[in-house]
Copies of this chain bind each other. A is one copy, B any other.
């Protein structure tokens, strides 16, 4: 790790101490409650220099986006499933649409994973396979249109995936509608 990055992280950590950490501490209050004050608790607080911060789509926002995707599809009479996956690859929200094909659920999840992994729509990523066909063998990925990234200041924070419409173009259209709901 070069020193420039180290400094940035240190700065970030200081900000954490002043700001976010209050929230985080509040979280701990409940999660740690059953152990608080016991002798068995580990005293292992990480020093600030050990931490990085990452932006994460809230579940409220992710649900809003997923519902917007589903509604966009419903308006065109399409049955789809929608998934939102965060930058760590963990699924935040899934919605299995009424009457959507059984293949759509896992498909939506994987499209979302793929879009957030490369910070690009899966419709674009499909094009990369002509150069590097085996990208599609990476676990968790699916190279079909219908996945779009959600960004914060240009960095990927989540992916939205839609599956089940008769064409990938439609799936992507609905995924974009979901992402658009986050810019308002």
Contact B19 A12 (CB under 8 A): yes
What 16 additional pairs, Cβ within 8 angstroms, besides A42-B176, A44-B176, A106-B139? Answer: A16-B152, A27-B99, A28-B155, A30-B77, A30-B166, A40-B121, A44-B179, A44-B180, A44-B182, A45-B183, A46-B61, A52-B98, A53-B53, A59-B70, A101-B117, A126-B134
Q: Are B74 and A2 touching (Cβ within 8 A)?
A: yes
Contact of A26 among B5, B48, B101, B158 (CB under 8 A): B5
**Which one of B8, B59, B93 lies within 8 Å of A20 (CB-CB)?**
B8
What copy number does this chain have within its complex? 8
- Complex alpha-carbon distance, A114 and B92, angstroms: 20
Within the complex, what minimum Cβ distance (angstroms) separates A93 from chain B? 6
B95 adjacent to A50 (CB under 8 Å): no
**Interface size bracket, A side:** 35 or more
* A16 to B154 alpha-carbon distance, docked (Å): 13
* Residue ranges of A at the interface with B (Cβ–Cβ < 8 Å): 1-2, 5, 8-9, 11-12, 15-35, 38, 40-61, 63-64, 67, 70-71, 74-75, 77-79, 85-99, 101-107, 110, 113-114, 116-121, 123-124, 126, 128-129, 132, 134-144, 148-158, 163, 165-166, 168, 176, 179-180, 182-184
With a cutoff of 8 Å between Cβ atoms, the chain B residues found around residue A165 in the complex are 30
B2 touches A12 (CB 8 A): no
Interchain nearest-CB distance for A140 vs B (Å): 6
Given A8-B23, A61-B50, A144-B132: A94 and B93 within 8 A (CB)? yes
How far apart sit A126 and B131, CA to CA, in the bound complex (Å)? 12
Given contacts A74-B2, A77-B26, contact A90 B90 (CB under 8 A): yes
Q: How far is the CB of A54 from chain B (nearest CB, A)?
A: 5
Q: Which residues of B contact A104 (CB under 8 A)?
A: 117
